[in-house]
Amino acid sequence: MPPEVVVEVFQNALYIIILLVAAVVIPGLIVGLLVAVFQAATSINEQTLSFLPRLLVTLGTLIFLANWIFSTLISFATELYTSIPNLIG
């Protein structure tokens, strides 16, 4: 198998990983930023206040995007399995 093919497969895998992680993490980051701005505006110095909203948003995002996440992973795995003969030969 030529090195270019390995690099291409690895590049596609990294792209999918970054896409899936960003889809889950970015809403939590936005909620964390909003809670931090609220805490700064009201002078509330409670560290655990931002944990629960971020947790709930992250869980909600995972539940909402679960179908898309799994279908993306399954299509990538299927594409890899079907391209094995072309990659080897």
Per-residue pLDDT of the chain (89 residues; tens, 9 = 90+): 778 888 998 999 999 999 999 999 999 999 999 999 998 898 888 878 888 999 999 999 999 999 999 999 999 999 999 988 887 76
Q: What is the DSSP string of the chain?
A: --HHHHHHHHHHHHHHHHHHHHHHHHHHHHHHHHHHHHHHHHT---GGGGHHHHHHHHHHHHHHHHHHHHHHHHHHHHHHHHTHHHHH-
Number of domains in the chain: 1
- Supply the range of the domain harboring residue 64: 3-88
Indicate whether this model's pTM tops 0.85.
no
